[in-house]
Amino acid sequence: MRIHHLQPAKWLSPWSALAMAMVALNLANLSVYAQEQVQDTQEQPRETVDPDPLRLKGQGGQALYDSAMYQLQLIAQKQREREANVRKSSQLPFVSDILQIINEPSFRHDALARSSSVDAKLQLAVTLLEEAASVHSHDDALFALADMNFYAKYNHPRNYTAAFQYYSTLASRTGNATAQQHLGFMYATGIGNAVERDQAKALIYHTFASFGGDVGASLTLGYRYLMGIGTEQSCADALYYYREVADKVMEHYREGPPGGPPLRLTKLPIWDDKGGLFGSKASSMTSSKKQDGVSLDEILHMYHTKAENRKDPQAQIVLGQIYYQGSSVGTSIVQRNMKAAFKFFSMVTKQFFPDNDDTNAPELQPQEAKLAGKAAGMLGRMYRRGDGVQPSLEKAKMWFMRGTQLDDPASANSLGEMLYTGALGKQDLVNARVLFKQAAELEYDEAQVNLATLYFNTGEMTDEAMALLKAASHKKNLRAMYMLANIYSSEVSNQQSCVLAVTYYKMMVERGDWLYSTFDEAYHAYMRDDYDSAVLYYMLAAEKGFELAQSNVAWLLDDQPSLFNRVRNVTDDMDNQAAQEHALIYWTRAANQNNVEARVKMGDCYYHGIGTSVDYEKAASCYQVAAEMERSSLAMWNLGWMYENGIGTVRDFHLAKRWYDSSLHYNREAYLVVKLSLIKLHARYYWNYFFGRDVGRPLSSGDDADSSEDEQFTSWTAWWTKAIKKKNNEIQRKVMDDNRPEWDIGDEGEHLARQYDRHRRQNEIDEEDSLYEGGNGIDDEDYSEEDELVESLMILALCVLVGWLVYVRQFRFQNPMPAAAPAPAPEDDEDDR
């Protein structure tokens, strides 16, 4: 390297000094980073690829399979290292840029060499697996090839046709349940264009997979029988499969630590960061990534400042809970961090408790006692479960006793559980019951379930036990939902009990989805911009009945229609009809599971003919359900517009005004849009009135044309309140345990059960043959685009005329006529003189 000697400068400006300091700092970081890279390289042995894979041909299928999996593990290791380096270099962007600029030729060469090495390993692994599968009939090799082609694992090109062949061979040869489940999924969706969609075959393969023990297949069957997809609707069959899945979920729950495994954080609406399905301010189902312009990172920074610098116990508790449970807003996730959680909970306890094993709680103010009790209960839970610390029942007992004295319900319940199970050496049912009741009175859901269990076991107070379970189920408690489902399922002769049992089972298995969910894979694929994989994983969850996955798939297909061409292996990017059809299918399924914005999207599809033929009547029906039963402001505005124009329904200016007013009532952000719509509505109403056309009731009238405006509003309010009375009552009773939208069962699930049936009947769609049936819902004489254009132009001309007249009037006032000249004096008449 040629070194140029620079002449020393006579003086340095402040900017030059600052620049040199920044360069020196980055070079220092560069040196550390380079040393880490050299150390990592020295620690990793150089790997070579056998250039002659035929050398292994004489060995058995297991040896070929083991050698292939070794090569694939090397590829996976390289992928993990590359991702780690990307994360590391992203912390030093300036340093990584310098590295790439200085060593550009070698950088490119090394990258190419790594890529070639991975490709060589992948080709070798595929060759070995194909040899093991075809020559030695090795089932694991066949399964590995199928998964590589289906999921694009190890950078293998995705090939659904090849995957179908491998899964089909494996299923026919061994009856592998997972292979049968994948075949059922491919027949259900037609993904990859490997096979034509065939719901009958999909049902058969899922049934065989379920009998073989595949939990995901059982969940799919439960959903299909519940909704009548590809088969007759059958509550009894749905109950059978959902109960089968629920039993396995509860078994997994009980095998985990006390309180069960943590719930997933990745079950997120991916459209949330876009402002919702309809954009900012228009969507009701969104928890924006930013609240009042403040990001999640900024909020965390604020709490860290309060917790660490100001020693604020409230901030310490909040951070401890965030890091213990994990948190998500939009598509941003705060991962669980047990060490950080323990740190912040300990910061609280050090402020209020003595540094010894004394179980007596100090005298504290009410707010301080609440915070201290919460922190004590969380530390006890961590010691009991071994979350980030060495498990210790003695320390757990100490913290639980401290928390119980400060009226912390979680501490009282956990201490009661330890007494009930005899974890402390001796079972004490009497004191356990006292502690459960103490925590249940504070509405702690785990204590409510434990106390209800005691009541059922002793055969006393069964009515109170049911009330406790229902209260806990409102907080999405898994055990409560499972117990209620078991109770209702014992009354199979009662159709309503069957529906309630299925509802509780469905809620339970979708919340505790540890055994079969693909949300983690879908979320991570979406975050790394691998939308092909994201669609696949969300479709897998959607077929199992997850409403959130269904809306995510529909949104992705709406947002990027070309995705479906790649998923279906279609080369014509201009052919988006299939994507639109599938988007409508998933919007429909999500709408039938109480997603109000999916219902509006469904109406939009029928109105614009997206994925189906134009059908204004069906569009109006969708908007009607979303407006009346689910209180969608956007659906209300759409209904108002359709009533105003007589599209999909009879023209009714009076009802149009009602819906416009209701839209504004439920969404104040729509003020300008609604007011402009009302101005236009009044103009059209009076235009038609002046020309003698039938305009129906006056805009300002209620049922009685002579009633005052207040009476009209009262009449309308009474009508509206009656229509949604049950919905309002449910919302008032609803107790939320988190900020994410989840299933709400209301009164024992009756509301949700009825909505399933009503939504399915009103918006039933034949996913195979009837996507293009149905007319436009109106006659030509009711609506004509030419008439609408002429009418709009005349209204516009009238507005211009009125504006001109107002302008002329103002101009005349501002510029009065000049005063007239005085008349000349009359001449004297001679006779007068």
Q: Give me the pLDDT at residue 756, please.
A: 42
Q: Give me the pLDDT at residue 795, please.
A: 67
Q: Give me the pLDDT at residue 467, please.
A: 95
The answer to whether 754 and 185 have CB atoms below 8 angstroms apart is no
The answer to whether 543 and 220 have CB atoms below 8 angstroms apart is yes
Q: Give me the pLDDT at residue 386, please.
A: 95
Residue matched to tokens 């159709």: 495
Q: Give me the pLDDT at residue 721, please.
A: 46
Q: Which of 734, 723, 745 is nearest to 659 (CA)?
A: 723
Give just the sign of the alpha carbon dihedral 467, 473, 477, 480.
positive
First to last CA, the chain: 128
The answer to whether 489 and 528 have CB atoms below 8 angstroms apart is no
Give Cα 403 distance to the centre of its chain.
Answer: 35
Q: Which of 86, 177, 169 is nearest to 134 (CA)?
A: 169
Q: Give me the pLDDT at residue 812, please.
A: 67
- Contacts of 421-428 with C-beta under 8 Å, sequence gap 24+, read 423/393, 424/393, 424/397
CA angle (412 as vertex; 410, 413 as ends), nearest 5? 65
The answer to whether 186 and 192 have CB atoms below 8 angstroms apart is yes
The answer to whether 98 and 30 have CB atoms below 8 angstroms apart is yes
Q: Give me the pLDDT at residue 118, please.
A: 61
What distance in Å separates the CA atoms of residue 306 and residue 325, rounded to the nearest whole number?
A: 20
Residue matched to tokens 């004590």: 376
What distance in Å separates the CA atoms of residue 378 and residue 403, rounded to the nearest whole number?
A: 9
Q: Give me the pLDDT at residue 570, please.
A: 53
- Which residues are within 8 A (CB) of 527 and not within 5 positions of it... i.e. 6 or more apart? 331
Q: Give me the pLDDT at residue 242, please.
A: 98
Q: Which of 772, 765, 774 is nearest to 586 (CA)?
A: 765
Q: What is the largest CA-CA distance in the chain?
A: 153
Q: Give me the pLDDT at residue 583, please.
A: 92
The answer to whether 697 and 708 have CB atoms below 8 angstroms apart is no
Give pLDDT tens digits for 394-450. 999 999 999 999 999 999 999 999 999 999 888 999 999 999 999 999 999 999 999
What distance in Å separates the CA atoms of residue 214 and residue 199, rounded to the nearest whole number?
A: 19
- Return phi, psi of residue 261, to 5°: -65, 160
In this structure, the number of other CB atoms found within 10 A of the CB of residue 123 comes to 14
Integer angstrom CA distances of residue 638 from 623, 670, 789: 7, 13, 19
Q: Please provide the DSSP assignment of 250-264 as one string.
A: HHHHHHSSTT-SPPP
- Which residues are within 8 A (CB) of 453 and not within 5 positions of it... i.e. 6 or more apart? 465, 483
Residues of the chain predicted below pLDDT 70: 1-59, 83-118, 280-294, 330, 357-359, 492, 564-575, 701-796, 811-833
What distance in Å separates the CA atoms of residue 691 and residue 795, rounded to the nearest whole number?
A: 13
Q: Which of 589, 771, 795, 601 is nearest to 687 (CA)?
A: 795
In this structure, the number of other CB atoms found within 10 A of the CB of residue 125 comes to 27
